[in-house]
Structure 1
Amino acid sequence: MGPIWRSLSAVLVLAGLWGGPVRAAETVLVFAAASLKTALDEVAMQYEAETGHDVTLSYAGSSALARQIEAGAPVDVFLSANPDWVDRLMDQGQVRRGDVVPLLTNRLALVAPTQDARVTGIDALPEALAGGRLAMALVEAVPAGIYGKQALSSLGLWSALMDHIAQTDNVSAALRLVALGEAPLGVVYKTDALAEPRVRLVGLFPEDSHDPIIYPVVRLGAAAPTEHDFFHYLQGPAAAEVFFRNGFGLVSQAP
């Protein structure tokens, strides 16, 4: 084990993203976009109960996770909040095209604290901030932030808002700022709004105002896939039911 890999291992352990240098064969390490946490926690529990295998889940912004995969993190499955970071891994030869499946869809939403009923729509966004900050994931790196900037630009709102953005490392952190009342408004996914009782859904951005929101699932590693592995389980009916209940759509059923 060289010095670069030892350094990476130490970073992953300190960040809580990897349980250690040795993992049992039946343990699946999954890197997933932060916006998937509520649904994917439940899917993993179901899988563990049905198969007896263990799933270790690590959540962060898709960009941060993709960079860790580039650095050699021993990941079995990666769920990204957009295809771009997966395309980058394919271009580098770290992912085979046949091991990538477009899985889920989502919508982009504007949220406010539950108790704040002043904001009634996206069009009133600049005035509604009233000197506060709009919470968003990193607008140049994290999918939710990228989609958000696209949507605000398409609606002609970005120039008025660009100096009033509170950028966070991932969409869950942006949601948390709104839930705690530290930001009056936030741009997150619809599924985030449904999962967090301390925020209310102000409105959904038009789907044609940004690129389609698609979550690909990626199988990594050299082991041959089986019909019972977690990669395939995520594409099955039991997982689909959980994703539907949490507000996601399936790419396979998109119009």
Structure 2
Amino acid sequence: MINAVKRLRSVCLLAVATCLTPGAAWAADIAVLCSQGLKTVVEDLAPQFEAQTGDHLVVAYDTSALLKSQIEAGKPFDVVVLTPPLITALIQQGKVADGSATTLARTGLGLAVKKGAVRPDITTAETLKHALASAGSVAYSTSGVSGSMFSAALQKLGIADEVKAKAKPVPNGLTGDVVVHGEADLAVQLMPELMSVSGVDVVGPFPADLQSYVVLTGGVSTSATDKARAEAFLAFLKKPSVAAVIRQKGLEPS
């Protein structure tokens, strides 16, 4: 009888200790659908968030447009990071909670070459024009916002038809991968997307007079498994300590 009481006491003490261990008893998965523009940031910071909370991030990356389509097709999620117009559209559809939209960062277009290749001068509109016109092929995204931004820049430079005639359209994924595989000489995409490809050298951002920016905004699903946990992840990405990582990855914190 005494042994049974001792065993019961030990079990109770273990249960109490487990409950008092941060995150141990209440850990959960948080499903995140994230624009590729914030991929390098989330990959870098995920272990820190998980260590602090005990929760586990299950993240899927793609272009904002494709992620929105997946959500509209019924893909479940807790947190989504897209461009503001797409977040607004999902709020109107009742898929993202009204009032949950959180501006996280912004980033602009950049250009990359295969690692070790000669880096063209793109510091001015004229030198960028020369680099694009003289390249054998330029890879650019057709599903993300960067594609329309690139098209606008080409129009300003007056070489849209010339470049598009020899361009390598990329319907999804990273344009840097196309350059790594030798299918194009230059890759154009958002700076953090280019920086996420290990086989390229990022030449730099477009010059200011040709630059456009993509704002990345987070939102919480109206069907989130645990809205408080989802909100906690977005709050984590807004911490002052996270700003340095955001800048390091080619974005500007908001």
TM-score by length of 1: 0.77
| Structure 2 counterpart of 1:135 | 139
| Structure 2 counterpart of 1:19 | none
Does residue 161 of structure 2 align to residue 155 of structure 1?
Answer: no
Any conservation in 1 of the 2:195–2:250 contact (CA below 8 Å)?
Answer: yes
1:98 partner SS: coil
Structure 1 residues 159-174: aligned runs within 5 Å:
159-170=161-172, 172-174=173-175
- Residue type of the partner of 2:141? A
Q: How many residues matched?
A: 222
> 66-75 or 234-243, which moves further after superposition?
234-243
In structure 1, C-alpha distance between the alignment counterparts of 2:204 and 2:162, rounded to whole Å: 19
| Structure 1 counterpart of 2:48 | 46
Deviating 4+ runs (over 6 angstroms): none
Q: What is the aligned-residue identity percentage?
A: 26
Any conservation in 2 of the 1:76–1:220 contact (CA below 8 Å)?
Answer: yes
- Residue type of the partner of 1:67? S
| Structure 2 counterpart of 1:3 | none
Structure 1 residue ranges without an equivalent (≥5)? 1-23
Q: 1:219 to 1:169 in 2, by over 3 A?
A: same
- Residue type of the partner of 2:139? A
1:181 partner SS: coil
Any conservation in 2 of the 1:32–1:79 contact (CA below 8 Å)?
Answer: yes
Does residue 220 of structure 2 align to residue 219 of structure 1?
Answer: yes
Pairwise CA distance, 1:224: 4.0
Pairwise CA distance, 1:66: 0.6
| Structure 2 counterpart of 1:247 | 250
Query: Paired residue for 2:77, among 75, 78, 97?
Result: 75
Residue-by-residue CA offset, 1:97-128 (whole Å, 9 max, x unaligned)? 41111211112112112322163331213432
Residue-by-residue CA offset, 1:53-82 (whole Å, 9 max, x unaligned)? 0110101111111111112221111112x2
Any conservation in 2 of the 1:151–1:205 contact (CA below 8 Å)?
Answer: no
Pairwise CA distance, 1:249: 0.8
Residue-by-residue CA offset, 1:158-205 (whole Å, 9 max, x unaligned)? 2221222212233x4211111233210110222234444432233422
Any conservation in 2 of the 1:27–1:56 contact (CA below 8 Å)?
Answer: yes
Any conservation in 2 of the 1:133–1:166 contact (CA below 8 Å)?
Answer: yes
Structure 1 residues 11-90: aligned runs within 5 Å:
26-80=28-82, 82-90=83-91
Any conservation in 2 of the 1:75–1:221 contact (CA below 8 Å)?
Answer: no
In structure 1, C-alpha distance between the alignment counterparts of 2:241 and 2:202, rounded to whole Å: 27
Q: 1:26 to 1:227 in 2, by over 3 A?
A: closer
In structure 1, C-alpha distance between the alignment counterparts of 2:209 and 2:88, rounded to whole Å: 22
Residue-by-residue CA offset, 1:186-241 (whole Å, 9 max, x unaligned)? 10222234444432233422345354321111111344436972122122234333
In structure 2, C-alpha distance between the alignment counterparts of 1:196 and 1:227, rounded to whole Å: 28
Structure 2 residue ranges without an equivalent (≥5)? 1-25, 123-127
TM-score by length of 2: 0.77
1:214 partner SS: strand
In structure 2, C-alpha distance between the alignment counterparts of 1:102 and 1:157, rounded to whole Å: 34
| Structure 2 counterpart of 1:15 | none
**Max Rg structure:** 2
Pairwise CA distance, 1:43: 1.3
| Structure 2 counterpart of 1:11 | none
> 195-204 or 231-240, which moves further after superposition?
195-204
